[in-house]
């Protein structure tokens, strides 16, 4: 086995993942599988993963977008329109434990790589598909995160009340879809372990977006009224948003009446917690326009940084609005080890955010820096050719 020099040691060690995905929703999921010990073979077309060209920013000549979601993988270039490469891809699918793809529905049929044809030779395969809008009426619609943020309604609830709709600062629908896909693959692997039978699992961006809007989606289903933009305000909690202090904003997140009482006591305003207009969360939401300036007037006496320390000592959920640099620094200060650094074949040190998963016995491992295109191509093609001789 070509990968045995650096095998994984996590809970998925020994599993082979054929990764036919690109951009974000698929690659992030396969990276998580790789972090957990699986051997991930990233199959790229001659054009390569789209995100290799998404720059700036870049680390030397490599897109940081690509680097963020492709560690713990080996790269091989296979042109499915070439008969030899197509045969190699089919051989990989035949021996893989997991096959993941995010092509337009029907594309892989012509290459013998759709689920039905793969499962015919490999009935225990867990075959995962990512689409934008499913494989029915929406199968021809291109699945881009920004488009789905728009059409799902997510942008309609993101942004200032009286301003334009905003997208999220990251491709959040792709990320959530990746998590859904990973859960589905792991569940199917468990089912296979118990029954010996593989299956086809699929996720789509629109369905993931609707699911990820949780309370907002259910609000519409229950009332028939679509939620609207509220800026940083929460539709069901108050105070639960950034509040002005002497020199900036402090996020205060009050989730129950006991926390609100402690907030008022810490601000030397216990009477607010006893005021009939603010005594319960429902009343505070109804009267937020009255309560917000009263709290901000109390916060105006000190800085966001000092209030954060004071309120935290009173076990009140709060925090300053950090930059990403400050967020990473906070994680380091808390001992969360947020950064992993891997050195690629060219000697470039590639930093990335470590897996947030923690295991007491089988922790994630970091074995391979994100690969250059076809970095392992000769080795993998020779290995796949050898399988044809068996």
The tokens for 79 are 């042109």
The tokens for 57 are 């920013």
- Specify whether the CB–CB gap between 128 and 29 falls below 8 A: yes
Q: Is 231 left (phi over 0), alpha (psi -120 to 50) or beta?
A: left
- Specify whether the CB–CB gap between 108 and 101 falls below 8 A: yes
* C-beta atoms surrounding 82 within 10 Å: 12
The tokens for 233 are 């305000």
Report d(CA 36, CA 38) in Å as an integer: 6
* C-beta atoms surrounding 60 within 10 Å: 8
- Specify whether the CB–CB gap between 52 and 26 falls below 8 A: no
Candidates 3, 49, 174, 344; catalytic one? 174
The residues pairing with 101 across neighbouring beta strands, listed in sequence order, are 20, 129
Q: Which residues contact residue 387 at a Cβ distance below 8 angstroms, ignoring those fewer than 6 apart?
A: 91, 94, 95
- Specify whether the CB–CB gap between 232 and 239 falls below 8 A: no
The residues pairing with 252 across neighbouring beta strands, listed in sequence order, are 241, 318
174 belongs to the catalytic site? yes
The tokens for 43 are 């199959």
Catalytic residues: 174
């Amino acid at each position: 086995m070509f990968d045995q020099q650096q095998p994984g040691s996590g809970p998925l060690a020994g599993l082979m993942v054929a990764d036919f995905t690109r951009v974000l929703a698929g690659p992030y999921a396969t990276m998580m599988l790789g972090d957990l010990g699986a051997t991930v073979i990233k199959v790229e077309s001659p054009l390569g993963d789209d995100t290799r060209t998404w720059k700036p920013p870049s680390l030397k000549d490599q897109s940081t977008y690509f680097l963020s979601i492709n560690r713990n993988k080996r790269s091989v270039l296979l042109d499915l329109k070439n008969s030899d490469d197509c045969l190699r891809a089919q051989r990989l699918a035949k021996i893989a434990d997991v096959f993941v793809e995010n092509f337009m529905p029907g594309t892989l049929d012509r290459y013998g790589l759709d689920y039905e044809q793969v499962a015919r030779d490999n009935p225990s395969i867990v075959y995962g598909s990512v689409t934008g809008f499913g494989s029915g009426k929406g199968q021809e619609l291109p699945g881009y995160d920004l488009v789905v943020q728009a059409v799902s309604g997510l942008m309609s609830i993101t942004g200032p009340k009286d301003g334009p709709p905003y997208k999220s600062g990251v491709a959040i629908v792709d990320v959530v879809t990746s998590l859904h896909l990973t859960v589905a693959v792991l569940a199917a692997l468990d089912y296979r372990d118990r029954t010996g039978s593989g299956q086809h699992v699929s996720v789509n961006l629109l369905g993931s977006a609707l699911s990820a809007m949780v309370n907002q989606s259910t609000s519409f289903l229950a009332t028939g009224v679509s939620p609207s933009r509220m800026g940083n305000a929460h539709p069901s909690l108050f105070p639960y948003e950034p509040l002005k202090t002497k020199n900036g904003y402090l996020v205060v997140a009050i989730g129950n009446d006991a926390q609100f009482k402690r907030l008022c006591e810490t601000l030397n305003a216990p009477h607010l917690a006893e005021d009939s207009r603010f005594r319960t969360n429902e009343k505070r939401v109804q009267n937020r326009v009255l309560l917000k300036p009263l709290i901000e007037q109390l916060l105006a006496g000190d800085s966001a940084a000092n209030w954060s320390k004071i309120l935290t000592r009173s076990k009140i959920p709060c925090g300053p609005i950090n930059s990403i640099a400050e967020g990473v620094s906070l994680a380091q200060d808390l001992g969360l080890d947020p950064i992993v650094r891997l050195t690629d074949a060219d000697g470039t040190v590639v930093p990335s955010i470590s897996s947030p998963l923690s295991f007491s016995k089988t922790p994630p491992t970091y074995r391979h820096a994100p690969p250059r295109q076809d970095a392992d191509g000769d080795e993998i093609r020779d290995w796949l050719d050898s399988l044809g001789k068996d």
